[in-house]
Amino acid sequence: MTQGKTLALITALIIVVGLSLMQVKSPTPSEATTTTINPALSVATVRPDTRDLPVTLAANGSIAAWQEAVIGAEIGDLRLSAVNVQVGESVKQGQVLATFNDESVQADIAHSRAIVAEAEANLAEAQTDADRATRISGAGALSAQQVDQFLTKARTAAARLQSAKAQLDGQRLRLKYTHVIASDDGVISSRSATLGAVANKGEELFRLIRQNRLEWRADVTADEMPRLKPDIEVWVSVPDVGQISGRVRMLAPTIDPQSRNGVVYVDVPNAAQQGFRAGMFARGEFRLSSSPALTVPQEALTLREGFSYVFRLKQQQTDLASVEQIKVQLGRHAGDRVEVLSGLTADDVLVASGASFLTDGDNVRVVAP
């Protein structure tokens, strides 16, 4: 009897435990998935886009003055009494840049004027004698030889007057040269004129960047030169200064026999106003043509161990997805778009940004861009 009661009690206990276990709720498939997938990042997506990108040719070179005018002393042995401009100043054509002391020139002009006055008086006297001799020659008072002498004297006096006037004009020209004049609009790039110095004739006093106009002189190889021609668009950039658009003005007619490079002259309008200076090293790209290319945003790329990668959505369940790391080969750049040469198709869905925070096989939550 006791054994039977014990058996019944054990059976009842087993039944109670079984019912308790059956009351524990099993997780649904969606709850299991939620528990399994732990998103590493919330990301927006983007697809590769086909766009026309320019075909470019890169080159290096220097910014230089389009033309540089040398302004020198056109008169010598005079002291500089005034220097009116400094390096970097803008000047106008005809502006007085410096002045020489003109006291000695003024004295020479006064002397030349006196010589002209004397020559005029001698001519007047000789002309009067010649006229008188011509009138009385018919009466036989003077021989033909004497008449010729008077006429020759008059012609000689006229020649001396012309010579005296030429000397006076020369002195006036020297007076004009005591003012050093700007030959064109532009900016003073160098100055060797010193107040109080006595300059020699022909000595350089200033250098002037004509019209403050700069150009980019690009070095290209002999193989690249045939691909270029005048009026091609060029983008020139200097680090920490900026980028500016220009156009090819001309190609050098010769190739340097040592370097085997040629020079391409590129006009860059208003470069000086944008901070460019002659002598700066610049890099540029010649825009040769354009062609279609598969592109992705720069933000979708990440650089690891010297290679470029993107993250492509591999599997997506509602707003959750797993990603895989794809190695890509890059080509041309245009703004924030980069050409992808291999590794992707136009139908791929990529992580738009934040790729540097992901690893291959990570789970992400896809959100609206």
Q: Residue 40's pLDDT is what?
A: 67
Residue type, 363: N
User: Distance between CA 71 and CA 84 in Å, rounded?
Assistant: 14
Q: Write the pLDDT tens digit of every residue in 198-244.
A: 999 999 999 999 999 999 999 999 999 999 999 999 999 999 999 99
| Residue-level pLDDT, tens digit, the chain, 369 residues | 445 555 555 555 555 445 444 444 444 444 444 445 577 688 888 889 898 888 889 999 999 999 999 999 999 999 999 999 999 999 999 999 999 999 999 999 999 999 999 999 999 999 998 888 887 776 666 777 887 888 899 999 999 999 999 999 999 999 999 999 999 999 999 999 999 999 999 999 999 999 999 999 999 999 999 999 999 999 999 999 999 999 999 999 999 999 999 999 999 999 999 999 999 999 999 998 888 999 999 998 999 888 999 999 887 767 788 889 999 999 888 878 899 999 898 888 898 888 888 888 888 888 876
Q: Residue 354's pLDDT is what?
A: 82
Q: Residue 26's pLDDT is what?
A: 44
The dihedral formed by the CA atoms of 345, 346, 349 and 352, expressed in degrees to the nearest 10: 100
> Does the pTM exceed 0.85?
no
Distance, CA of 289 to chain centre: 21
Q: Residue 25's pLDDT is what?
A: 42
Q: Residue 361's pLDDT is what?
A: 84
Which tokens hold the place of 151? Answer: 């006429």
Coil, helix or strand at residue 184: coil
Q: Residue 31's pLDDT is what?
A: 45
> Which residues are CB-contacts of 197 (< 8 A; sequence separation ≥ 6)?
79, 80
Which tokens hold the place of 354? Answer: 């934040």
Q: How open is the CA angle 278-279-283, to the nearest 5 degrees?
A: 100
Q: Residue 22's pLDDT is what?
A: 46
Domains, the chain, in order of start with CATH, read 36-56+292-366 (2.40.420.20), 58-66+214-282 (2.40.30.170), 67-99+182-212 (2.40.50.100), 102-177 (1.10.287)
Which tokens hold the place of 251? Answer: 């190609």
Q: Residue 149's pLDDT is what?
A: 87
Q: Residue 21's pLDDT is what?
A: 43
Residue type, 304: R
Q: Write the pLDDT tens digit of every residue in 17-45.
A: 454 444 444 444 444 444 455 776 888 88
